[in-house]
Amino acid sequence: MSEKKVTIKDVAREAGVSIATVSRYLNNSYSSMSEETKIRIQDVIQRLNYHPNIMAQALKGQSRTIAVVVVNMSYPFCVSVIRSISEVLDEAGYSLLVCETGENAEKELTLIRSLVARGVDGIILQTNGQNNDLLQELAETMPIVLVDRHFDITGVKNVITNNEEASYQLTEALFKEGYRRIFFISEELNGLSTRTQRYAGYQQACAKRGVEPAVCWMERRKTDTCQAVLNLLKQESGEQPFAVYTANGLLMMELYPLLQGLSLRVPEQMGVATFDEPDWANITQPRMTCVRQPTHEIGQLAANTVLERLRGDIKPHLQPSVQMIPSVLVLAPATERTAK
C-alpha cells in the first residue's frame, strides 16, 4: 500500500541520468540543461510521485521552515498575524514553527538559539527587546523581521502599525464626540514601542485640547490593579461625560465587566473605546469605538519580507528598516446609538 520512499537516486536511475542532474533540475531547472532530460526527469518525478527529502535538504542549508516567536500565541493580535504568515508561507511551500516567550527575555533567548540550531531559514518575532544583540548578529546570516514592537537593529526589518497616530486619532475622536475627559488605561510601558506610542498619541491629543491627561496603569490578571482603575474613575469622573480608553483589547476585556458595574449610560454618560478591535466588538451595546490593527497585512508583509530576502531579491541593508501599515479607526455609528 505505502510505496517505499522514493529518493533522488530512484529518479536518477529511472530517468537514466545522474543524481546530480536531478538535483540541478530540482534547484535550477531554468539554467543550462537540455529540454529532453528536463522533460524526462519531470516525467519520472511525476510517475514516481517523488518529493525531495526536506531533512536532507535542510542538512545542506535550506530547511524551508520559518519560525514565528510571539509573546503569547493566544492573543488575538498574535493569532491573526500568525495565521496570515502561515497562509503566505504555506503558499510558498514553507512550514511555520510557532513559539511563545511569555514576555520572558531568557525564554526568548533560549528559543531563538534553539530555532537557529534547528536551522530555520528565518525568524519573525514580537520581541521584548532584550536580545537585540543576538538578533543583529543573526540578521547577517538570515532574515529577521520584527512585528508589532519596533526596535532599531542593523539588518533587521520592522513591520508595524502607526500606533501613535492611530492613538491620537482615537483620542481626538472621543473628544469630538463630546467627552470632557478621557481616561487612558495602559500596562507599564517597559520600553515597548507599541505602548509608548499609544501613550504619546493620547498625550498629544490631550495637549492639543488643553485637557489634563488622566492615565492609569493596569496589569492584566491582577484584579486589584483593575479595581484601582475603577476607583480612579469614581473619584475623578465628576465632570461627565467622560470616556475610558484602554491601550489594548485585552485590557478592555477585563475592564468592561467592571465598567458595566458603574451603571452609567453608554455612550451618554460614559464613552468606551480601545486600541485593537476585539472580536466581541459587535457584542457590546452600543458598539465600542476602536482601532483596527491591520494584523492580516502585517503578517503577510512580514512573511513576504522574509521570503524575499531568502530568494535573494533584496540586499538586507539597503532597504528602509521600517514598514508601517496604518490602523483604521472604527467609530461606533452615531445612528446606532440613538436608533437602538
Partner DNA sequence: GTGAAAGCGCTAACAA
Partner DNA sequence: TTGTTAGCGCTTTCAC
Question: Least Å distance between CB 98 and a copy of itself?
Answer: 5
Chosen from DNA, a copy of itself, none, partner binding at 7 (C-beta under 5 to 8 Å by type): DNA
Decide: is 114 part of the binding site for DNA (CB under 7 A): no
Contact 98, 73 (CB under 8 A): yes
Distance in angstroms (rounded) separating the CA atoms of residues 321 and 179: 38
Contact 136, 316 (CB under 8 A): no
State phi, psi for 294 to the nearest 5 degrees.
Answer: -80, 60
Residues 216-275 within binding reach of a copy of itself (CB under 8 A): 253, 256-257, 260-261
245-271 burial, b at 16+ Cβ within 10 Å, e below that, comes to bbbbbbbbbbbbeebeeeebebbeebb
Among 98, 207, 328, 334, binds a copy of itself (CB under 8 A): 98
Chosen from DNA, a copy of itself, none, partner binding at 278 (C-beta under 5 to 8 Å by type): a copy of itself
State phi, psi for 188 to the nearest 5 degrees.
Answer: -50, 140
Decide: is 106 part of the binding site for a copy of itself (CB under 8 A): no
119 or 213: CB nearest DNA: 119
State phi, psi for 304 to the nearest 5 degrees.
Answer: -65, -35
Decide: is 191 part of the binding site for a copy of itself (CB under 8 A): no
Residue whose cell numbers read 527529502: 53
Decide: is 311 part of the binding site for DNA (CB under 7 A): no
Amino acid at 48: L
Decide: is 46 part of the binding site for a copy of itself (CB under 8 A): no
Which range touches a copy of itself (CB under 8 A), out of 81-89, 154-162, 211-219, 325-333?
Answer: 81-89
Decide: is 123 part of the binding site for a copy of itself (CB under 8 A): no
Decide: is 283 part of the binding site for a copy of itself (CB under 8 A): yes
Distance in angstroms (rounded) separating the CA atoms of residues 331 and 281: 11
Chosen from a copy of itself, DNA, none, partner binding at 340 (C-beta under 5 to 8 Å by type): a copy of itself
Contact 106, 325 (CB under 8 A): no
Residue 221, all three cell numbers: 490578571
Alpha helices in the chain (DSSP H): 8-15, 19-28, 35-48, 54-59, 76-91, 105-117, 132-139, 163-176, 193-209, 223-236, 249-261, 295-311, 334-339
Strand pairing category for 328-330 and 289-292: antiparallel
Distance in angstroms (rounded) separating the CA atoms of residues 149 and 77: 12
268 or 336: CB nearest a copy of itself: 336
Decide: is 60 part of the binding site for DNA (CB under 7 A): yes
Decide: is 36 part of the binding site for DNA (CB under 7 A): yes
Angstrom distances, CA of residue 103 to CA of 193, 255, 269? 14, 22, 37
241 or 278: CB nearest a copy of itself: 278
Using CB under 7 A, count the residues that bind DNA: 28
Decide: is 54 part of the binding site for a copy of itself (CB under 8 A): yes
Question: Least Å distance between CB 28 and DNA?
Answer: 8
Decide: is 34 part of the binding site for DNA (CB under 7 A): yes
205 or 259: CB nearest a copy of itself: 259
Among 18, 43, 91, 118, binds a copy of itself (CB under 8 A): 118
Decide: is 17 part of the binding site for DNA (CB under 7 A): yes
Contact 163, 193 (CB under 8 A): yes
Q: Which residues bind a copy of itself (CB under 8 A)?
A: 1-2, 51-56, 58-59, 63, 65, 72-74, 79-80, 82-83, 86, 90, 95-100, 113-115, 117-119, 137, 253, 256-257, 260-261, 278-280, 282-285, 340
**Binding residues for DNA, per CB under 7 A?**
5, 7-9, 16-21, 23-24, 26-27, 32-34, 36-38, 52-53, 56-57, 59-62
